A and B are shown apart, each in its own frame.
Chain A
């Protein structure tokens, strides 16, 4: 089967650093993707990993360990506008190479 787990909710303070974890079990692997989704809007792409290690993009970084089926998204210097849901998705192997999404982590940034 295919399964992706993330914490349901997290809270952090403005200016702090937060780490959102994601564990996965999927049929093959063609990349792990992180999306941000504000309430009522479509998801927007943040970062992706294909190989093990850390990818840094400004205030956002994503880490991947394929052997452990584990990834995290690191958000630095949190701002109020970072309050959103963060979706972890894996592109599976096989025909279609579908994107399997986790339930999303709702992050609240407090002043």
Chain B
């Protein structure tokens, strides 16, 4: 079945460490997105990519980095520069432009100790 796989599901990090969250999709979608969700809040856009080897900052990109070397993969690195990284991270993808549904992965919950 087609879908989006995020790993790990749960991750604990010490302050000062970088961590990378994996996102892989087999939906043949062009566009991929990373969102952050804090308790009781909506989704905020971190980074997005419309095509391979191209990505753009979203509303809260500071302290994060991404790469898009393959169409299927869009990993997110949470760097030590991110001051408050504890959150639920959601990867999503969609076919292209227009009224296409955004499909989500199961999410990765990051906790900084």
Contact = CB atoms under 8 A, between A and B. Distances in A.
Contact of B107 (A42, A89, A91): A42
A31 B43 contact: no
Interface in B64-109: 88, 90, 92, 94, 97-99, 101-107, 109
Given A96-B56, A98-B58, A101-B42, A42 B102 contact: no
Contacts of B97: 30, 97
A30 B42 CA distance: 20
Interface residues of B, number: 28
Of B43, B58, B88, B101, most A-chain CB atoms within 10 Å:
B43
Given A96-B50, A98-B58, A99-B33, A45 B101 contact: yes
Interface residues of A, number: 25
B105 A89 contact: no
Interface of B: 31, 33, 35, 40-45, 48, 50, 56, 58, 88, 90, 92, 94, 97-99, 101-107, 109
